[in-house]
Amino acid sequence: MINALKSVLLVEDNELDVELTLEAFKGNNLANSVQVVRDGEEALEYLYREGRFQGRPEGNPILVLLDLKMPKVNGLDVLRKVKADPDLKSIPIVMLTTSKEEQDLVESYKLGVNAYVVKPVHFPDFVTAISQLGTFWALVNNPPPGSVRQ
Amino acid sequence: MMAEEAEKPGRQEASAETPGRMPGPELPDSQLELLRLAVQHAPLILSVYDKEFRFRLLMGGALGERGMKENQLVGLDAREVLKDNPELLASLEKAKQGHTHRWLGERTGVYLEAYVSPIFDGKGEFNGLVSMALNVTDRVKAQAEVLRLNAELEAKIKERTGELEEAIHELEAFSYSVSHDLRAPLRHIGGFLELLLKKSAASLDDQGRRYLGIISDSAKRMDSLITDLLSFSRVNRQERLSLRFSMAELTAQVIHDLDPDLQGREVEWTVGELPDAVGDLSMIRQVMANLLANAVKFTLGRQPARIEIGALAEDEGKNTYFVRDNGAGFEMKYYEKLFGIFQRLHGAAEFEGTGIGLANVRRIVHRHGGTVWAEGAVGRGATFSFTLPAPPVPKPAP
């Protein structure tokens, strides 16, 4: 499973948020295309095909859903690194965060984030937000060349 | 006080510009006697030196406190007598160049200030020096005390500012953490409740479903409390603009925005003349929105509800605005609690709310240098008033 090719990379350290997000993706049949990693370090390993992702097939995800607050390497660090890398910077990145703290919002856009979404507390809104994101980025949007669409 | 005497600037400047000359015409004896008496009683030491720096005269009321007698040094060479006071000697040398020189020094715990001026003879030739010394110990000590107190005060201000900055920083970190860390568990409670309802609703009985409803409502309420708490802390952190704006326009907008809350309600609005104010438009909109929303909320059940917005005449650069309603009112004895954070004077069953609105109103008005107050009686409505800076009166065209 680890080495299977997935089109959406979900970077989220909270087990419960992962479960809720995958539940929301079921609505547009994207749940099976999601690769979950638990922190920024793993996310970078996945994108650079290093560590336990050394053997994964080539190609970039068509969307990265990135949690802001994570242990070790946080969302902003991942964003900074990816947007500074010519091979990765075209991957659409959506920041998922718990609250709209202005400093994070400003910093994210400065670093070149493609969208910034505050996870709604009300679950039906959360489902709507996640499935709309999935629909737009994974189904409507044309990803940059070199991306993997299942 | 002798120190003050010496401070008079005219004296020093005058002698610096026009060095003292030997008096031309002889003084009558009576005046010479007066001069001697005056010098003997003045709280100073007057010394006259010849052009070789030998003492020619030593007089003054302050000689005694220095343990000296009148003219006791006459004939002695000042260079010899003052050799342990090179600074004063240097002043004598400098004064010889043609200008009054000031020397301030300490001898055995006493601070002395001396003005040394050259004397010229009738032909304009240097002919000696005159020096006047004053005891300025009190003044010097007072100045030192002032400097010490100032330094102490400055250090204290620096310390307090540092503490304050740290406290603000901690508060920001706190609200950041509140907004993130308290929200996530709430989202999980709501999310999994929803999933439980979706997948297992059939196996729950009515009581079970009621419990789930209570959990869900409580989670929503906690979310609104967190949102309000954050808005309250943001009021302080936000930068405040200061621009002239139309209170009449702002009020009309706020009333319009309240439309959805008025469905099926009969509300009579009375809006008086509202002068422009100066402040942060978005913050003041929050104030007006809070007060009008409260008026709408607490007039529920009134037929009709009457809400009046008006202003009093400008006073000392401040405009006073008020919002009056014929709603539930409040007990004046709980007035202190009215503007407190999360304080409520009505039960949740009676009127909904988190108790943040008026706390925000007070903070915002205070940040604008205004005041806010209220009057009310149970069942007879309430009036909330606040002041804001009035725009400066434009100068009439010339």
- Are the Cβ atoms of B179 and A17 closer than 8 angstroms? no
Domain-by-domain residue ranges, chain B?
A: 2-135, 146-237, 243-389
Q: Which residues of B198-228 are buried (b: 16+ CB within 10 A; e: fewer)?
A: eeeeeeeeeeeeeebeeebeebeebbeebbb
Give the model confidence (pLDDT) of B78-93 as tens digits.
999 888 888 888 888 8
Answer for the pair A81, A44: CB distance below 8 angstroms, yes or no: yes
Angle, helices B357-367 vs B281-298, to 10°: value is 150
Question: Around B390, how many Cα atoms within 13 Å sit in the side-chain half-sphere?
Answer: 16
**Nearest residue, CB atoms, B190 vs list A23, A69, A122:** A122
Reported CATH class of domain B2-135 = alpha beta
Q: Who wins on pLDDT, B127 or B227?
A: B127
- Taking alpha carbons only, the member of B98, B94, B143 closest to residue B114 is B94
Q: Does B180 touch chain A (CB under 8 A)?
A: yes
Cα A91 from Cα B272, distance rounded (Å): 57
Ordered domains of chain A (ranges, CATH): 8-139 (3.40.50.2300)
Q: Which residues of B313-325 are buried (b: 16+ CB within 10 A; e: fewer)?
A: eeeeebbbbbbbb
Burial (0-12, 13-18, 19+ Cβ within 10 Å), A46? buried
Cα B200 from Cα B198, distance rounded (Å): 6
Give the model confidence (pLDDT) of B213-261 as tens digits.
888 888 888 888 887 777 777 777 777 888 999 999 999 999 999 988 8
- pLDDT band for B2, please (50, 70, 90 cuts): very low
CATH number 3.40.50 given to B146-237 = no
- Are the Cβ atoms of A101 and B219 closer than 8 angstroms? no
Q: Which residues of B380-394 are buried (b: 16+ CB within 10 A; e: fewer)?
A: ebbbbbbbbbbbeee
Give the model confidence (pLDDT) of B140-164 as tens digits.
999 999 999 999 999 999 999 999 9
Q: Give CATH for domain B243-389.
A: 3.30.565.10
Residues 285-344 of B with CB under 8 A from A: none
**Common-topology check for domains B2-135 and B146-237:** no
What does each C-alpha distance from A56 to A46, A92, A145 come to in angstroms?
8, 20, 18
Beta strands in B121-165 (DSSP E): 126-135
Q: Who wins on pLDDT, A92 or B314?
A: A92
Cα B276 from Cα B132, distance rounded (Å): 66
| ipTM given for this complex | 0.75
Please list every residue in chain B whose beta carbon sits closer than 8 Å to the beta carbon of residue A124: 194
Answer for the pair B37, B135: CB distance below 8 angstroms, yes or no: no
